[in-house]
Amino acid sequence: MRFLPVNLDALMVELNSLEQTMALTDLLHNMFKQWHIEEIVPAARTILIRFNPVLTNASTIAKHVATLDISAGVMPSGELITIPVQYQGEDLADVANYLGITISDVIERHTEHQYQVAFCGFAPGFAYMVSKGANLNVPRRQSPRIRIPAGSVALAGEFSSIYPKTSPGGWQLIGITHVAVWDLHRKEPALLKPGSRVNFIDASKSGKIYSLPISKKVEETDHLQHDIKILQTGLQTLWQDDGRIGQAALGISESGAMDKSALHSVNRVVGNPINTPALEITQGGFKAQINSAMLVAVTGATCDITITTAKQEKYHSRMYEPIQLEKGDIIELGNCQCGVRSYFAVRGGFEIAPVLTSCSYDTLAQVGPSPLKNNQYLALRHKKRLNAVSLTQLPLVNYPTSDDVVELDIVLGPRADWFTQQAITKLCSQLWHVTPASNRIGLRLLGEEPLSRKIQQELPSEGTCIGAIQIPANGQPVLFLNDHPLTGGYPVIGAVCNYHLDLAGQIPVNAKIKFNPIGMFKEFIGSCSDHV
């Protein structure tokens, strides 16, 4: 058992087998409150543990975990689910050839042995399933496909899974099923959860029809109140709050506002609780018509705020201050002068329903209230008890422009030891250009010299955090942001410190980043244990 650094509020436990990982996962679920753990992300050979850094630290967590007996742990068996499969996958013949067996043998092994969900990741509802007797261990494809249809049944390494929705992927496709493994309109969106048992059956040989109840999709409709009419959304306007912590078992990451300090400030300015959902506006260009009197505010990335009254009188307002608007006013945000994302809030909040505990829209998982559209109407939530407005809010970071060099503190790990010392030096000495391919999922960076690895073996998927610096095969870093995948298959060389994540979320395209390590890569040492 190894304990590897991830961030100031997270560490990774590396284990010897999937069985140990499943056993430790089960034990940790009983320790959340006692050890101040906020979330765990189990994977093939690792568990990422996020904790409350105010109440505990990585060394204490490591000492606690090292005392647990995982030698006899067995993951509890969950619900048994039957999945009919049409075994006509594009890679079925290749899988048979790789294993030295016939196509019929592949289908027989897949259907005659029960699978169990070990963990979820990659995408919402994407379940990593294992079977003790199937013996269908095959590598991923050398070249991933750009588009894999929803319902595709696939193999990779020791795992089998079902793609919940159409997406890119590198697994070997052996069939397809009509069963929806992810449906937000069901009471339980994820059909397959850790512990679930799965029987695959050959649909061509079964006379039975296995299906789930058809869910009723709730159509999004305009509210009866038309308090605000969206005239222009700009590049992108999303609903955001603090995000949905605690949904890792469903394969969903935190998401949430990219600049949480600006979100909290905009709510303080208008007297709302700090986690009240607000609009996150990317690069300005937002315009809205006000149909009833209200108090609003704008924080975050700096932009001009212009108000045009019903009498066509124009005036300018300032950011981080309350703005009283009247019926007929039009408020417009100009292009960002520095930073990327601005936040717009109204006193009392908006009438918006949460999805899986949060109103944040996750652009990767496509979970949450839909992005705003032109001509959409918004309704206000009129609360009687609110806080006093704040006149003392200021930006907590200096928002950068595209000409700036932004310095970000980082923690090295958990896979810094997979890279050469020269690569570590390059990571922290050369400047990294933020490319136009960047978004809420991550900043794609380009450096003069790529980073080289000293360990070339394939890394089993493992949990990642916001701020993780993942190094794909081309050696050019990807800095994961709020909508990042929950697990990743490329080594993470380090992570941006929590206190610089808001700044990272405001770095514009063409700016440059310099990484500053706050310490050397060092494993955490837990207390000695005979159980590991």
The pLDDT mean for the chain works out to 92
Amino acid 34 reads Q
Mean pLDDT of all residues in 70-82: 80
Per-residue pLDDT reduced to its tens digit, 122-149: 889 999 999 999 999 999 887 788 899 9
Q: Please, what is the end-to-end C-alpha distance for the chain in angstroms?
A: 6
Choice among 68-77, 236-245, 418-427 with the minimum mean pLDDT: 68-77
Per-residue pLDDT reduced to its tens digit, 410-441: 999 999 999 999 999 999 999 999 999 999 99
Q: Which DSSP symbol is given to 478?
A: E
pLDDT at 126: 93
More confident residue, 142 or 290: 290
Q: Is the pLDDT of residue 10 over 50?
A: yes
pLDDT at 352: 96
Instruction: State how far the alpha carbon of 48 is from the alpha carbons of 37, 66, 386, 479, in Å.
Output: 11, 15, 38, 18
pLDDT at 216: 54
Q: How confident is the model at residue 449 (pLDDT cuts 50, 70, 90)?
A: very high
Q: Is the pLDDT of residue 529 over 50?
A: no
Q: How confident is the model at residue 394 (pLDDT cuts 50, 70, 90)?
A: very high
The answer to whether the CB of 475 falls within 8 A of the CB of 445 is no
Q: What angle do CA 430, 439, 465 make, to 5 degrees?
A: 75
**Cβ-count burial 288-318 (b if 16+ within 10 Å, e if not):** bbbbeebbbbbbbbbbebebbeeeeeeeebe
Q: Is the pLDDT of residue 74 over 70?
A: no
The answer to whether the CB of 471 falls within 8 A of the CB of 451 is yes
Per-residue pLDDT reduced to its tens digit, 35-59: 999 999 999 899 999 999 999 999 9
Q: Is the pLDDT of residue 532 over 70?
A: no
pLDDT at 405: 98
